[in-house]
Amino acid sequence: MEAAVGDLMATELRLGLPGTADDDQPQMKATVPSTPRGKKRTTDTDAVEDAAAEEDSKHDVEAAPPVAKAPVVGWPPVRSYRKSCFQASSKQATKDEAPSSNTAASAAANTTIGSFVKVSMDGAPYLRKVDLRMYKGYRELREALEAMFVSSNNGGANLSEFAVTYEDKDGDLMLVGDVPFEMFTSTCKKLRIMKRSEATGLGSLRQ
């Protein structure tokens, strides 16, 4: 399934310039203006796909050896004390052992790749990311999603008009809440908040 998705990516039309994804060019040297997020409001689905493509291309690059994302020494200009504090806190935060790595850059990568999943919401122009490890259960997750999406859009509306679904390891669209939370966090790849009207056939839609 993953392989098929990968092939599709190769043929996908994107707004990114050549050299932003699969090439080996070090990202620092090229003056690659990453397409501004603010401008991508053509259509909602376009924006979602483009953002998704850009995020995916970043993940491809992160998985590749350091060449594509060669860290520039001393950039960004953040004190080493601050960087080392974050590595310390990421070690404390992760329950599972992130593989220790040599460069500060990939250590930082381990904290970000960990369990962040994309969250898309129907009608929202751009996606968000949440770290599933941060929540103890479904209720906290729901509250966080509500804070992230709903308060920004239609002040007043709440999440009950939407269904929170997710895409699991097999690529299937599932309703959030059926399995124990631990199991959910380990199988969830992407979250999608969809309008109730579209969520028919996904079982009992309580709340």
User: Does residue 45 interact with other proteins by CB under 8 A?
Assistant: no
Q: How far apart are CA 185 and CA 130, in angstroms?
A: 11
Q: Tell which one of 15, 108, 132, 175 touches other proteins (CB under 8 A).
A: 108
Q: How far apart are CA 193 and CA 176, in angstroms?
A: 10
| Min dist. Cβ of residue 133 to other proteins (A) | 10
| Min dist. Cβ of residue 118 to other proteins (A) | 11
Total residue count of the chain as it appears in this document: 207
- In the window 131-160, what residues touch other proteins (CB under 8 A)? 134, 136, 144, 147-148, 152
Q: How far apart are CA 24 and CA 2, in angstroms?
A: 22
User: Does residue 33 interact with other proteins by CB under 8 A?
Assistant: yes
SS3 for 74? coil
- Tell how strand 188-195 and strand 116-121 pair up: parallel
Q: Tell which one of 5, 63, 85, 157 touches other proteins (CB under 8 A).
A: 85
Classify residue 169 by burial, with Cβ atoms within 10 Å: 0-12, 13-18, 19+: exposed
Which residue is associated with the tokens 């960990």?
Answer: 114
Which stretch in 11-19, 64-72, 156-164, 188-196 sits in contact with other proteins by CB under 8 A? 64-72
User: Does residue 76 interact with other proteins by CB under 8 A?
Assistant: yes
Interacting residues with other proteins (CB under 8 A): 27-28, 31, 33-34, 36-39, 58, 69, 71-83, 85-86, 88-90, 92-93, 104-105, 108-109, 111-112, 129, 134, 136, 144, 147-148, 152
